[in-house]
């Protein structure tokens, strides 16, 4: 993830996507897009290895193999990221962006994080994760444990509105890899959201574009409120990190970032709603101990 090197896959995939978006015949575009998705996912799957991914394991780099088992909890069945529909949904989001005059001249790279967030919302049926979402998801896992054994497909979550950090970060990982980014899935046991909050288990992504590194939290996006306090939109929760911060995450330490939600005023002015400090811990090794200066300054 060096600043001197840009992964060639980003430019190559973007060029292919732009060609597909330029096809005017709908049936031809659908056929060519399907062929590209099959070819790209087959290539990535051949390069990947099927593994078990848990909150207590290390970071997983790159495309998650369709046969990999991802465990939200040792008590729950695993799920697999094996539905090609997520990539077709991603393409449809890019197509919608390309139809907007103000966005038409933006690059695939510039729109990618917004397209991924919208893909997750469209596919899973929920824009952000709440306590109610997690409760419904946990109940679903418990029911599935009794009825269907120890493994199922991410398809089971499609449109259910109950996806949380594990499901969203896993799919986001593959969408980022599909687009050519150097990406890591980070399963952590000690993330903190807000001063005074207790550490929680959480899955999120870290990715690089060849020039910079970023934390991407797909299940906790930025929120846009209206003046009445209602959530009316979402935007990607992405935080640039330095090379030093990237390596701190990889060795199990952590990074503190500032998160800001927004409010859209009745006169269409966008303002910062407030600032929350978020602590993203690296995989496996706890970071927020009482004598850790990061904890004291959160």
Over residues 31-52, mean pLDDT: 96
Split at pLDDT 50, 70, 90, the class of 46 is very high
User: Please, are residues 148 and 63 in contact by the beta-carbon 8 Å criterion?
Assistant: no
Span 240-289, pLDDT tens digits: 999 899 988 888 888 999 998 888 888 888 888 888 899 999 886 443 34
Evaluate whether residue 2 is within a structural domain.
Answer: no
SS3 60: strand
Q: Among residues 223, 233, 236, 235, which one has the least CA distance to residue 276?
A: 223
Evaluate whether residue 1 is within a structural domain.
Answer: no
User: Please, are residues 161 and 137 in contact by the beta-carbon 8 Å criterion?
Assistant: no
Q: Count other C-beta atoms under 10 Å from residue 57's C-beta.
A: 14
Give the 3-state secondary structure of 207-227: EECCCCEEEECCCCCEEEEEC
Which run of H or of E encompasses 172?
helix 165-178
Distance CA 260, CA 248 (A): 23
The CA-based angle 74-79-80, given to 5 degrees, is 140
SS3 80: strand
User: Please, are residues 279 and 191 in contact by the beta-carbon 8 Å criterion?
Assistant: yes
User: Please, are residues 265 and 244 in contact by the beta-carbon 8 Å criterion?
Assistant: no
Distance CA 234, CA 130 (A): 14
Evaluate whether residue 287 is within a structural domain.
Answer: yes
**Residue 62 pLDDT more than 70?**
yes
Written as six digits, the tokens of 166 are: 């594990």
Question: What is the rounded average pLDDT for all residues in the chain?
Answer: 87
Span 162-190, pLDDT tens digits: 999 999 999 999 999 999 999 999 998 88
Span 117-176, pLDDT tens digits: 999 999 999 888 888 888 899 888 888 775 656 778 999 999 999 999 999 999 999 999
Distance CA 40, CA 87 (A): 10
Q: Among residues 188, 239, 184, 175, which one has the least CA distance to residue 212?
A: 239
Evaluate whether residue 3 is within a structural domain.
Answer: no
Over residues 60-78, mean pLDDT: 91
**Residue 291 pLDDT more than 60?**
no
Q: Among residues 221, 220, 288, which one has the least CA distance to residue 254?
A: 288
**Residue 18 pLDDT more than 90?**
yes
Split at pLDDT 50, 70, 90, the class of 290 is very low
Distance CA 120, CA 58 (A): 24
Report yes or no on whether pTM surpasses 0.95.
no
Min mean pLDDT across 23-32, 66-75, 87-96, 283-292 is at: 283-292
Evaluate whether residue 36 is within a structural domain.
Answer: yes
Evaluate whether residue 289 is within a structural domain.
Answer: yes
Written as six digits, the tokens of 261 are: 């939600």
**Residue 3 pLDDT more than 50?**
no
Written as six digits, the tokens of 165 are: 């950090």
Which spans in 7-158 are helix H? 8-21, 26-47, 85-98, 108-124, 131-148
Give phi and psi for 134, each to the nearest 5.
-65, -40
Range of the domain at 113: 8-296
Q: How many domains does the chain fold into?
A: 1
User: Please, are residues 168 and 123 in contact by the beta-carbon 8 Å criterion?
Assistant: no
Compute the radius of gyration of the chain from its Cα atoms: 19
Evaluate whether residue 118 is within a structural domain.
Answer: yes
**Residue 4 pLDDT more than 70?**
no
Dihedral of the CA atoms 7, 182, 125, 21 (nearest 10)? 10
Span 191-244, pLDDT tens digits: 999 887 888 889 999 999 888 999 999 999 998 998 888 888 889 999 999 989
Distance CA 227, CA 25 (A): 43
- The dihedral through the CA atoms of 8, 10, 13, 15 has a sign that is negative
Written as six digits, the tokens of 151 are: 């493994």
């Amino acid at each position: 993830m060096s600043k001197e090197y840009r992964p060639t896959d980003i430019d190559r995939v973007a060029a292919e996507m732009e060609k597909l978006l330029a096809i005017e015949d709908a049936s031809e575009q659908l056929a060519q897009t399907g062929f590209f998705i099959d070819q790209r996912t087959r290539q990535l799957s051949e390069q990947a290895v099927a593994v078990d991914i848990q909150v207590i394991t290390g970071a997983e780099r790159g495309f998650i193999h369709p046969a990999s088992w991802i465990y939200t909890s040792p008590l729950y069945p695993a799920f697999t990221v094996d539905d090609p529909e997520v990539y077709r949904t991603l393409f449809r989001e890019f197509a919608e962006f390309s139809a907007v005059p103000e966005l038409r001249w933006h690059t695939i790279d510039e729109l990618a994080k917004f397209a991924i967030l919208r893909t997750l919302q469209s596919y899973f049926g929920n824009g952000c994760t709440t306590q109610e979402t997690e409760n419904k998801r946990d109940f679903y896992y418990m029911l599935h444990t009794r009825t269907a054994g120890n493994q199922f497909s991410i398809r089971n979550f499609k449109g259910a509105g109950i996806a949380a950090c594990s499901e969203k970060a896993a799919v986001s990982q593959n969408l980022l890899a599909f687009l050519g980014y150097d990406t890591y899935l980070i399963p952590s046991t000690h993330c903190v959201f807000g001063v005074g909050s207790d550490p929680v288990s959480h899955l999120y992504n870290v990715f690089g574009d060849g020039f910079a590194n970023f934390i991407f939290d797909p299940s906790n996006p930025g929120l846009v409120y209206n003046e009445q306090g209602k959530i009316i939109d979402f935007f990607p929760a992405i935080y640039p990190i330095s090379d030093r911060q990237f390596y701190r995450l990889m060795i199990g330490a952590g990074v503190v970032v500032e998160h800001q939600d927004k409010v859209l005023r009745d006169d269409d002015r966008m303002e910062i709603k407030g600032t929350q400090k978020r602590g993203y811990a690296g995989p496996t090794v706890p970071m927020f101990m009482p004598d850790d200066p990061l904890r004291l300054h959160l």
